[in-house]
Structure 1
Amino acid sequence: MVDQPVPDRITDRRAKVPRTAALAGPYGHPYHPILVTVPIGAWVASLVFDVGSKVAGQSGFLARGSLWLIGIGLIGAVVAAVAGIIDLFSIPAGTPAFRTGLLHMSLNFAVIAMYFVNWLWRNSLSDKDVVPPGPLVWSIVSLALLGISGNLGGKLAFRYGVRVADEETQSEGFRRGDE
């Protein structure tokens, strides 16, 4: 991999400073990255429960637990989306970071819609003690799409530095007590 040139200084700090710290988190402490752990964790666990329901005997509790986890993930995703949208609109429009943010948001909305459909589908089943192949495959596809979106979120933070403290602020963590 070829090393990319590092800019001497960041000229646009708008994507680093929140529009409203009460909803998005203060400078250097954004809420969105911690909030996304709820839907990601719930949806990964729901897939584990789905697979477990296929291999465990008397596994109705796993199928019902998976349904609950999908619902918990949906609630968590809506909360995380609020903070994410606020962060998105702190990015200057027309930039590669903004376009990446729009794609990240669009994929996440698609994933939320897919999990909502999955939740409705499972609720409509007469036997909630069994996870049919359709909802199981739907979960796998939804989670794969979430992984792609998460990669874009990582690009926003680690490549473009969205909501990441600037390098001068970061350097405080590397100063020795005698400096």
Structure 2
Amino acid sequence: MKPRRILEAAESLRALDPATTAVARGLRKVVGHGAADRLLRGAWLGHPVHPLLVTLPIGAWTSAAVLDLTGQPATARRLVTIGLAATPPTVLTGLAEFSGLDAEQRRVGAIHALSNTVAAGCFLAANRSGRTAAARMWGLGGLLALTAGGALGGHLSYAQGAGVRRWSSLHAVGE
């Protein structure tokens, strides 16, 4: 099966609808439509914050894999830690965006979130495993999950247009 078809198949997983609808409604109640929403969704920046923040864990974890392969495991471990530290704000902004998606986008967004949760869990396990073969295996699993999550995030943004132009209706904090 072609990668594009796999990504498109995520859009038709209607079985996810009850859960994703409930999560989106719950998030909307928590985030609301005020200052927290504008902050998390990037009204102050003029576009969503989530795509900007994802570069931190992706870059740190990808660089860590390269450094680990080149015999620099201590530096790689520090980068994994940086990626883990960048994950909570990245997740928060992603959840704020999730709350405004349509049904097909929520399906893809849910699998994107699950893939990235698996990636973060793998990198956490890699960090806890120290400088062992198990740590390398956890890191490889994390990279695979991160790649799947990134592909789904790209599909969500570029193929489905999630968040495109919707942010323009938000006003910057303090405006």
Regarding TM over 0.5, the answer is yes
Q: Deviations over 1:111-151 (max 9, x none)?
A: 111111111111xxxxxxxx332211221221111111111
Structure-2 separation of matches of 1:28 and 1:164: 11
Structure-2 separation of matches of 1:52 and 1:120: 20
What amino acid does structure 2 have at the position aligned with 1:145? A
SS at match of 1:164: coil
CA contact (8 A) 2:126 2:134 kept: no
Hey, what does 1:87 align to over in structure 2? 97
Hey, what does 2:107 align to over in structure 1? 99
Structure-1 separation of matches of 2:48 and 2:38: 8
Hey, what does 1:75 align to over in structure 2? 85
Structure-2 separation of matches of 1:139 and 1:73: 12
Q: Report the count of equivalent residues.
A: 132
Question: Which residues of structure 1 form unaligned runs of 5+?
Answer: 1-17, 54-61, 123-130, 170-179
What amino acid does structure 1 have at the position aligned with 2:57? P
| Larger radius of gyration between Structure 1 and Structure 2 | 1
Structure with higher helix content: 2
One of 99, 113, 120 as aligned partner of 1:112: 120
**Which runs of structure 2 are paired with 1:158-173 in the superposition (5 Å)?**
158-165=158-165
CA contact (8 A) 1:108 1:149 kept: yes
CA contact (8 A) 1:28 1:164 kept: no
SS at match of 2:158: helix
Hey, what does 1:152 align to over in structure 2? 152
Hey, what does 1:177 align to over in structure 2? none
How far is 1:28 from its partner? 5.0
The percentage of counterpart residues that share the same residue type is: 27
Point out 4+ residue stretches in structure 1 off by more than 6 angstroms. none
Structure-2 separation of matches of 1:28 and 1:103: 27
How far is 1:99 from its partner? 0.7
Question: Which residues of structure 2 form unaligned runs of 5+?
Answer: 1-31, 169-175
TM-score for the superposition, normalised by structure 1: 0.68
Q: Deviations over 1:146-179 (max 9, x none)?
A: 111111101111111111127xx8xxxxxxxxxx
Structure-2 separation of matches of 1:156 and 1:52: 34
What's the Cα RMSD here?
A: 1.9
TM-score for the superposition, normalised by structure 2: 0.70
CA contact (8 A) 1:28 1:163 kept: no
Hey, what does 1:6 align to over in structure 2? none
Structure-2 separation of matches of 1:99 and 1:67: 33
Structure-2 separation of matches of 1:156 and 1:164: 10
Hey, what does 1:25 align to over in structure 2? 42
